[in-house]
């Protein structure tokens, strides 16, 4: 185990000194983050960061920074090897959420990736009045002061950051905002994250029943993944309802309170818990595919526990609609282009095309699996029919649509010379 860095040792002294009233200047920004912000040209709190991977990646944890423990340095090192945005699941600093803790404990480690961080606050962040140092440190990326909830898109996914430290009851402004946000975002795949879990096997009373109101809304709108912290362990649950009933189309919750700041909790497994580990610090990495996701828990150097898998997003899949284009009248022996570009999918999924000739003299299509194949019209007048079927990325096929191509001979009039 490495010792505390000199930066952190000095930070402990400064924080203790500050507790006696001698240090009061809050940290407004990160010098590390500012340098990276310029390098990456990233607008914090938006989906402007362009990941180089084929599908976007997010990674994160909760219960992160402590000037008294070294593990947050090691989890931060993991982020340096992941090309993606960073999420935090609350308790960004593990003691009292002071400006000094953000400056001297969080900033030298996870703060290096501040330029691409989408944070949420935890109860330790709220040990400081209204979590004001948290909002000052992260700025606009944290959402409005006293609210702290916001949403954004990454790739095909909609991500929602919530605040479990304020009112989240059925009539609360936060839940009303959440319903309006989900009404206006019909993404096939949705992820939500905040600090306090509804479900956890931690024996230290870390579950919060009031979160069920949030879950009720998320479940009604088909949200796929929830990420939480608070419990200092890693746990993966099977998809389930807000009442804890197994449901293959329900919400899968991950508890990832392993950012490095807390001492790991004991546990006693509860229903639907699939994997638990309380011996390892690390981060969760999610690869966000258009209709599915991969997860991977990555341990810090020297520890060996891992967990990984894949799952499809749960949404109501509607059949795509084939459009073979308008009927055409063309000259014999001319080049003809079929037009299936008007085909569509109600879910916005990518389409696969299949053209089949169903009538008339046989012709050879240039490629019967693209939207706009071509062929040469026959030499004699004829009527040709083609059927188009499109299939979405989950294998649901459309009803066929038919187009008729009529060919006619070009008449050449004789020229009489006088």
Place of tokens 């500012």: 34
* 159, 255: one domain: yes
Rounded-to-integer distance, Cα 326 and Cα 254, Å: 50
For 341: left if phi > 0, alpha if psi spans -120 to 50, otherwise beta; the answer is alpha
Place of tokens 């006696």: 20
3-state SS of 113-156 is HHHHEECCCCCCHHHCHHHHHHHHHHHHHHCCCCCCCEEEEECC
Q: What is the CATH number of the domain that holds 360?
A: 2.60.40.10
* 228, 91: one domain: yes
* 196, 222: one domain: yes
Give the strand pairing for 328-331 and 292-299: unpaired
Give the strand pairing for 335-337 and 374-376: antiparallel
Residue 47 DSSP class: T
* 302, 365: one domain: no
Rounded-to-integer distance, Cα 89 and Cα 257, Å: 8
* 49, 119: one domain: yes
Question: Number of folded domains in the chain?
Answer: 2
3-class SS of residue 394: coil
Joined tokens for residue 133: 């140092």
Question: What's the pLDDT score for residue 186?
Answer: 82
Last residue of a domain, one of 252, 281, 312: 312
> Do residues 102 and 93 touch, judged by C-beta distance below 8 A?
yes
> Do residues 401 and 322 touch, judged by C-beta distance below 8 A?
yes
Burial 163-176 (b: 16+ CB within 10 A, else e): bbbbebeeeeebbe
Positions in the chain whose pLDDT score sits under 50 = 1-53
Last residue of a domain, one of 254, 281, 312: 312
Residue among 19, 41, 206 at smallest CA distance from 100? 19
Q: What is the CATH number of the domain that holds 295?
A: 3.60.21.10
* 200, 277: one domain: yes
* 104, 159: one domain: yes
Q: What is the domain extent for residue 389?
A: 328-408
Q: How far is CA 350 from the centre of its chain?
A: 19
- Write the DSSP assignment of 73-94 as a string of letters: HHHHHHHTT--SEEEE-S-SBS
Stated as kind and residue range, the H or E segment containing 227 is strand 225-228
Last residue of a domain, one of 279, 312, 345: 312
Domain membership flag for residue 67:
yes
Joined tokens for residue 30: 């990160």
* 295, 398: one domain: no
> Do residues 104 and 7 touch, judged by C-beta distance below 8 A?
yes
* 348, 302: one domain: no
Domain membership flag for residue 321:
no
The sheet that has 252-256: what strands, in order across it? 150-154, 157-161, 189-193, 225-228, 252-256, 234-237, 273-277
């Amino acid at each position: 185990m490495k010792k505390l860095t000199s930066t952190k040792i000095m930070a402990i002294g400064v924080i203790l000194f500050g507790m006696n009233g001698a240090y009061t200047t809050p940290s407004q920004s990160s010098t590390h983050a500012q340098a990276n912000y310029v390098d990456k040209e990233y607008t914090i709190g938006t989906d402007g960061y362009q990941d180089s991977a084929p599908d976007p990646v997010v990674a994160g944890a909760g219960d992160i920074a402590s000037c008294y423990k070294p593990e947050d340095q090691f989890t931060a090192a993991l982020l340096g090897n992941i090309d993606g945005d960073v999420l935090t699941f609350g308790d960004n600093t593990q003691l009292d959420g002071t400006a000094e803790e953000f400056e001297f404990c969080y900033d030298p480690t996870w703060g290096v990736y501040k330029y691409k961080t989408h944070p949420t606050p935890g109860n330790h962040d709220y040990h400081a009045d209204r979590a004001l140092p948290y909002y000052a440190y992260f700025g606009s990326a944290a959402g409005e002061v006293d609210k702290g909830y916001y949403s954004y898109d990454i790739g095909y996914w909609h991500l929602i950051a919530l605040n479990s430290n304020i009112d989240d009851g059925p009539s609360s402004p936060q839940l009303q905002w959440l319903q309006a946000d989900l009404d206006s975002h019909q993404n096939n795949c949705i992820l939500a994250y905040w600090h306090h879990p509804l479900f956890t096997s931690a024996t230290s009373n870390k579950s919060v029943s009031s979160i069920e109101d949030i879950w009720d809304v998320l479940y009604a709108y088909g949200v796929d993944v929830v990420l939480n912290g608070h419990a200092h362990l890693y746990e993966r649950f099977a998809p389930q309802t807000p009442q804890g009933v197994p449901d293959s189309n329900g919400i899968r919750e991950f508890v990832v309170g392993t950012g490095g700041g807390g001492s790991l909790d004991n546990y006693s497994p509860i229903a639907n818990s699939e994997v638990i580990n309380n011996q390892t610090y690390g981060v969760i990495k999610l690869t966000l595919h258009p209709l599915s996701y991969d997860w991977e828990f990555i341990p810090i150097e020297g520890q060996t526990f891992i967990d990984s898998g894949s799952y499809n997003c749960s949404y109501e899949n509607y059949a795509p609609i084939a459009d073979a284009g308008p009927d055409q009248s063309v000259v014999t022996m001319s080049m003809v282009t079929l037009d299936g570009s008007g085909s569509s999918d109600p879910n916005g999924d990518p389409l696969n095309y299949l053209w089949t000739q169903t009538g008339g003299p046989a012709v050879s299509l240039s490629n019967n699996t693209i939207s706009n194949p071509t062929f040469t019209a026959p030499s004699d007048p004829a009527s040709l029919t083609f059927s188009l079927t499109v299939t979405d990325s989950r294998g649901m096929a459309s009803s066929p649509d038919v187009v008729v191509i009529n060919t006619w001979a070009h008449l050449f009039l004789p020229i009489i010379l006088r």
